[in-house]
Amino acid sequence: MKKMDYQNVRGTQDYLPEQERIRRKIRRTLEDTFITYGCKPLETPILNYTNLMASKYAGGAEILQEMYVLSDRGERELALRYDLTIPFAKVFAMNPTLPMPFKRYEIGKVFRDGPIKAGRFREFTQCDVDIVGVDSQAAEAELMMMALDAFEKLEQDVVIQYNNRKLLVGLLGVFGVDADVQSRVILILDKIEKVGHDAVLAELTELGLQLAVVKQIAYFLQDDRKNTLAYFGQYDEPLIQEGVAEMEELEHYLNKLGITKNCLFNPLLARGLEIYTGTIYEMFVRDGRITSSIGSGGRYDNAIGGLLGGTEKFATVGISFGLDVIFTAMMLDEQKKQETLIDIYIIPINTTVESLVLAKALRKDYRVEVELSGKKLRKAMDKANRENIPFVIVLGQEEVTQNHYMLKNMQTGETATKTFIFNV
C-alpha cells in the first residue's frame, strides 16, 4: 500500500505542545485583560450567510476577494467569517435591546484566502473587543490602553499608530477626488509603506485620476508637515475639522493616561476596510522583528444601523489582536533571547588532536567547544543550528596540512580562511 503524502492545507498550521503552550498563554493573557476592563464574553458562528459578510457595511471589495464561500444541501449561499466584527454587528442588530454601553470580547477562528507571510495564515485566530454606545474618544483611548496593558504582560514593546479616516476622506475631497473612487484611493494609499511613493502614484494614475489631482496627492505625501494635526487644521473642510477635533480629543486622553510614548500619529495610516468611519489604529512591535501589524481596529458607527436596514448610527469602536502573528513575534523574540554559551564550535574530521590544539589557541579570545563524541558532520551541524552557535570550523586533514582553517558564519553562510600553524 502506497504511503500517503500528508500535508496541511496551504495557509494552515499544526501547533505542537510547546508551541500551543505559548499560544494558550497569549490567549489567557488577552482574555484576563479583557475581563479586567469589564468586557463580557460572546461567541458567534463560523458559518454565515454570504450576503451578511458581503454587505456594504462589511469589509469592502478587497477583503471580499479573500472570502471563502460555499453552499449547503439546501443550496444556500454561505461564507466562512473573515473577521469577528461583522458577526458581532449582526448579533447587536438581532438584539437591539442589549444594554449600552455594551462591551464584548470574542476569541475565535477566522478565514481569509489571502497572501501568506510571516505570522499571516489563511486560518487564524482573532481576539476582539468591541464597545457599543460610547460616542467620545474615551472608548478608543481605553482600548489602546487595554492593548498596551496586555502587551506589557506579554513582555512585548509595541507602538500604536493611529489616524482618522475623516482626515483622509476630507483631504481627498479637497484635492478633487470623486466620492465614488475615494475608497479605492484610500486602499492604494494604505499600501505606501509596502510599495513606496512612486508605486502608489503610478497606481493612482492608472486609476484614472486627473494629473492635477495626482500632483496634489504627491505634494501631500512629500510634505513633512502632514505628520502634525496643525497641517490638517489649515483646511476649512467640515469633515477634516471634525477629524481634527476627534484626534485632539483622543490625544488629550492619551496624554492624561501617560501612554503617548507608545502612540504615534500616522497620517498615512488608512486601514483598507471601508467599514471604518473615524479613528483607526494598528499595533506593531517596536523593534521591527516582524513587519506585520499584531493588532488593529477603529470606529465603525454605520455598521449596526446599516445591518438593521436604516440610517441610525450606533457608536461602535473595536480592536482586534492577531493571536497567530503575536505568537510569531514572541517566537522570534525567544530565538533572539536564546544566547549561546559557545562562540565557536570545532568539528574534527579525523583531527581530534589538531582540533584541541586549535581550540586552546582560540580560547584566549573566544568560548570554544570541540565535538568529541564522534557525531557525524550533519548531526554536528544540526547541534550548531539548534544551539544558535554563531561560528563553526570543520577541520579536516587537508586544512591541517595546509596550516589554515575555514571559519563559517552560521547566520550568513559566509566563510573566512584563517592561517594557523598546527605543528602537532
Q: What does the pLDDT look like over 267-288, one tens digit per residue? A: 988 876 678 889 999 999 998 8
Residue 41, preceding bond cis, omega within 30 degrees?
no
CATH number, residue 387: 3.40.50.800
| Domain final position from 333, 360, 392 | 333
Asked if residue 269 belongs to a known ligand binding site, the reply is no
CA dist 37 and 146 (Å) reads: 7
CB burial of residue 364 (10 Å; 0-12, 13-18, 19+): exposed
Are 283 and 360 members of one domain? no
Which pLDDT score, from 0 to 100, does residue 395 have? 94
Based on the fold, state whether residues 87 and 214 are members of the same structural domain. yes
Q: Is 112 annotated as a binding residue?
A: yes
Whether 302 and 415 map to the same domain: the answer is no
Q: Distances from the Cα of 192 to the Cαs of 187, 266, 267, 272, 278, in angstroms?
A: 10, 12, 12, 12, 20
Could you report the per-residue pLDDT of 296-318, keeping only the tens digit for each? 999 998 888 877 777 778 899 99
130 is in an annotated binding site: yes
* Grid cell of 372 as nine digits: 568529541
Residue 312 · residue 303 · CB < 8 Å: no
Euclidean distance between CA atoms 347 and 391, whole angstroms: 11
Could you give the number of structural domains in the chain?
A: 2
For residue 126, say whether it is annotated as part of any ligand binding site: yes
User: Do 322 and 405 belong together in one domain?
Assistant: no
Residue 59 pLDDT more than 60?
A: no
Looking at the structure, tell me whether residues 354 and 290 fall in a common domain.
no
Question: 84 among the known binding-site residues?
Answer: yes
Q: Which three cell numbers stand for residue 370?
A: 570541540
DSSP code at position 340: -
- Three-state DSSP at 172 gives helix
> Residues 310, 218: one domain?
yes
Measuring CA to CA, how many Å separate 86 from each of 94, 131, 227? 12, 13, 32
The predicted-structure confidence for 75-127, as pLDDT tens digits, reads as follows 999 999 998 988 998 898 888 888 999 999 999 999 999 888 766 789 999 99
**Which CATH number covers residue 194?**
3.30.930.10
**Reported confidence tier of residue 18, pLDDT bands at 50, 70, 90:** confident
Q: Are residues 309 and 413 both part of a single domain?
A: no
**Does residue 24 share a domain with residue 119?**
yes
Full domain range(s) for residue 390: 344-419
Cβ atoms within 10 Å, residue 85: 26
6, part of any domain: no
Is 351 within the bounds of a domain? yes
Reading the block at residue 319, the C-alpha cell is 480592536
| Predicted local distance difference test score (pLDDT) of residue 387 | 83
Could you tell me if 275 and 359 lie in one domain?
A: no
Answer for the pair 394, 347: CB distance below 8 angstroms, yes or no. Answer: yes
On whether both 307 and 245 belong to a single domain, the answer is: yes
- Per-residue confidence band for 424, with pLDDT thresholds at 50, 70 and 90: low
- Distance between CA atoms of residues 12 and 24, nearest Å: 18
Q: Are 344 and 318 in contact (CB under 8 A)?
A: no
Is residue 3 included in any domain, yes or no? no
| pLDDT score of 57 more than 70 | no
Backbone angles phi, psi at 286, to 5 degrees: -65, -35
- DSSP-assigned letter for residue 42: -
| 271 annotated ligand-binding residue | yes
**Same domain as 174, residue 30:** yes
